[in-house]
């Protein structure tokens, strides 16, 4: 089902993802499970045997099982692995340090020291490697509201400022249309009604949003009117390049906003991908940019295509080439078209080399007269 598949949090957890999240703790947790079972089988073992140990084992196994269903439930695995790995590490340390015979004192000291160094190295690895995707960088990842859930590790006020704009500049009974990802922010921070949010269970509502975005501007406008929407939001993420084309700022998109989700909009709307996307499954076709409401709402247009590995340029799309964009607002604030741009978030005017976390709010032009 395209709608279910489009939600990253619904994906099943893979071994690679689990190891990325928990790294060495998975090994210590496995050791903890083995040592708990082993010590409970040894009658004269000095290992603490009480209900809390059994509870830790049961809780740990249940947490690992639950988290295997969806990525979003990985937090349960983290709690389980912390408990089990702590038990495993403590039992291992106890086993190594308990031998204190005088005849082998120096040898034991070397073993203990080597063991501690090894443990420290194992714990340092996930903190330091890989350099751009370790525990430290993961901990520094901004809140979703600060970077829109994009690939850029920056914190901006684009979404917060845009929600404040909605709160203070739109009628209290205004209805805001957007992709469902942003529904909670609109209703809680913007304090306005929205068409769909994260709790929407009616798939038809989300399918209609996808169709509205992928329809022609006139058909999309009519669907917005049928939804009784007063405003519609589009979110674009990208980066301004460090060089300009004379006086034109240049941009690359595909940073995690709606420009990165359009393939899912197309699938959910049950439209043919080849009509809207190039062979890479990401780059929009001329039809997408010129004949869809979403393409018209993006305040950018492709200027050229570049292969960054060979520095080749092309006026048309070629496999392996990346589109370069320039600013192009199709529906200005005084437009007589179906929409009017009434708000662009601050990073739309980003400096050279800076990312764009662009939130664009359009007012539905109720005086628009379709030509068809």
Provide the number of structural domains found in the chain: 2
Q: Considering the domain boundaries, does residue 201 fall inside one?
A: yes
Which residues of 246-369 form beta strands (DSSP E)?
A: 248-252, 300-307, 312-314, 322-327, 339-344, 355-364
Q: Is 7 exposed, middle or buried (0-12, 13-18, 19+ CB in 10 A)?
A: middle
Does residue 69 share a domain with residue 7?
yes
Does residue 129 share a domain with residue 151?
no
Q: Is 58 exposed, middle or buried (0-12, 13-18, 19+ CB in 10 A)?
A: exposed
Dihedral (CA of 3, 5, 6, 10) sign: positive
CA 238 to chain centre: 14
Q: Considering the domain boundaries, does residue 354 fall inside one?
A: yes
Provide the 10 A C-beta neighbour count for residue 176: 22
Does residue 159 share a domain with residue 292?
yes
Q: What is the pLDDT of residues 316-349, one digit of tens each?
A: 999 999 999 999 999 999 999 999 999 999 999 9
Q: How far is CA 174 from CA 115, 124, 228, 291, 306, in A?
A: 64, 52, 9, 27, 42
Does residue 159 share a domain with residue 106?
no
**Closest CA relative to residue 166, chosen from 363, 338, 350, 356:** 363
Q: Considering the domain boundaries, does residue 33 fall inside one?
A: yes
Does residue 309 share a domain with residue 284?
yes
Q: What is the pLDDT of residue 359?
A: 98
Residue ranges of the chain whose pLDDT lies below 50? 1, 4-6, 8-9
User: Residue 84 is part of which domain span?
Assistant: 2-139
The answer to whether residues 21 and 77 touch, using CB atoms and an 8 Å cutoff, is yes
The answer to whether residues 165 and 53 touch, using CB atoms and an 8 Å cutoff, is no
Does residue 107 share a domain with residue 199?
no
Instruction: Give CA–CA dist 132/123, Å, rounded.
Output: 17
Q: Which of 80, 112, 139 is the last residue of a domain?
A: 139
Does residue 152 share a domain with residue 91?
no
Does residue 360 share a domain with residue 297?
yes
Does residue 150 share a domain with residue 118?
no
Q: What is the pLDDT of residues 141-199, one digit of tens each?
A: 888 899 998 888 899 999 999 999 999 999 999 999 999 989 999 999 999 999 998 77
Does residue 154 share a domain with residue 125?
no
Q: Which of 139, 157, 186 is the last residue of a domain?
A: 139
Q: Considering the domain boundaries, does residue 369 fall inside one?
A: no
Does residue 194 share a domain with residue 104?
no
3-state helix, strand, coil in the chain (%, to 5): 50, 15, 35
Q: Considering the domain boundaries, does residue 321 fall inside one?
A: yes
Does residue 102 share a domain with residue 55?
yes
Instruction: Give CA–CA dist 174/9, Å, rounded.
Output: 30
Q: Which of 122, 139, 156 is the last residue of a domain?
A: 139
CA 27 to chain centre: 28
Strands 175-177 and 248-252: what pairing? unpaired
């Amino acid at each position: 089902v395209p709608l279910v598949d489009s939600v990253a949090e619904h994906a099943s957890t893979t071994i690679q993802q689990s190891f990325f999240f928990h790294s060495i703790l998975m090994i210590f947790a496995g050791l903890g499970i083995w040592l708990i079972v082993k010590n409970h089988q040894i009658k004269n073992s000095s290992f603490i045997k009480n209900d809390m140990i059994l509870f830790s084992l049961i809780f740990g196994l249940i947490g690992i099982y639950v988290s295997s269903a969806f990525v979003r439930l990985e937090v349960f695995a983290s709690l389980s692995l912390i408990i089990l790995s702590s038990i495993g590490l403590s039992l291992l340390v106890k086993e190594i340090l308990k031998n204190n015979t005088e005849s082998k004192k120096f040898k034991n000291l070397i073993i203990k020291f080597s063991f501690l160094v090894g443990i420290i190295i194992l714990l340092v690895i996930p903190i330091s490697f890989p350099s751009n995707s370790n525990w430290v960088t993961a901990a520094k990842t901004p809140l979703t509201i600060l970077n829109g859930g994009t690939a850029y590790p920056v914190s901006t006020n684009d979404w917060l400022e845009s929600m404040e704009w909605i709160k203070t500049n739109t009628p209290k009974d205004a209805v805001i249309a957007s992709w469902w990802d942003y529904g909670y922010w609109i209703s809680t921070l913007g304090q306005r009604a929205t068409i769909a949010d994260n709790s929407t269970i009616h798939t038809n509502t989300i399918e209609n949003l996808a169709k509205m975005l992928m329809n022609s501007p006139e058909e999309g406008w009519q669907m917005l009117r049928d939804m009784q929407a007063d405003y519609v939001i589009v979110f674009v993420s990208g980066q301004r390049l460090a060089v300009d084309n004379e006086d034109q700022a240049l941009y690359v998109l595909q940073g995690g906003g709606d420009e990165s989700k359009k393939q899912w909009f197309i699938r959910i709307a049950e439209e043919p991908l080849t009509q809207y996307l190039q062979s890479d499954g990401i780059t929009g076709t001329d039809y997408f940019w010129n004949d869809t409401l979403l393409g018209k709402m993006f305040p950018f247009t492709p200027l050229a295509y570049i292969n960054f590995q060979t520095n080749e340029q092309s006026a048309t799309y070629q496999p392996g080439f990346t589109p370069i964009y320039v600013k192009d607002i199709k529906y200005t604030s005084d437009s007589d078209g179906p929409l009017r741009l009434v708000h662009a978030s601050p990073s739309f005017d980003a400096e050279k080399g800076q990312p764009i976390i662009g939130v664009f709010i359009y007012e539905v032009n109720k005086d628009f007269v379709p030509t068809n």
